[in-house]
Amino acid sequence: MKNKIWLIIILLAATGLTVQAQDTARTRGHRWDAAGKADKMSDKLYRELDLSKDQRKAIYDINEDIARKRDAAKKDSSLTPRQRMQVYQQLDADRNRRFREVLSTSQYKKWNDWELMKKGDMEKKMDRKQEKKEARKPAHG
């Protein structure tokens, strides 16, 4: 009888931890605020580009500003998807321009190469997704 009670207690505790972990994962997800997004991206750039303290602050400020504007565009229901994509492209161009003012030539090149690689990876991922989608379509004939 004692063993059954302990088993039930352990199962209840495990279930509670699982639910708590799922809730935590759900809230963390991709719903970071602008400061969190800027912090994450800036930390990565700090490590990859060996930024000075002043550069790190400037890069953080740029990233936070861009993230806020991007979030505002995402929430703006008056924008069509095409317009939203144009806003995102303008924000990316603005970030590039502002980064060029803060980073050294070699740091900017390294960052730009990294961005190009990420875009290439994203395009490959989108291509694979499109191929899978087309493979699922029934053949008309």
Checking if the pLDDT of 24 tops 60, the result is no
Distance CA 135, CA 141 (A): 15
- Summarised one tens digit per residue, pLDDT across range 34-83 is 888 888 888 888 888 999 999 999 999 999 999 999 999 999 999 999 99
pLDDT band at 135 (very low <50, low <70, confident <90, very high): confident
pLDDT of residue 129: 85
Parse the chain into domains and list their residue ranges: 30-124
Residue-level pLDDT at 15: 60
pLDDT digits (tens, 9 = 90+) for 85-100: 999 999 999 999 999 9
Residue 67 contacts residue 34 (beta carbons within 8 Å): yes
The string of DSSP letters for 90-139 reads HHHHHHHHHHHHHS-HHHHHHHHHHHHHHHHHHHHHHHHHHHHHHHHSPP
CA distances (Å), origin 133, targets 21, 121, 123: 32, 18, 15
State percent of the chain over pLDDT 90. Answer: 43
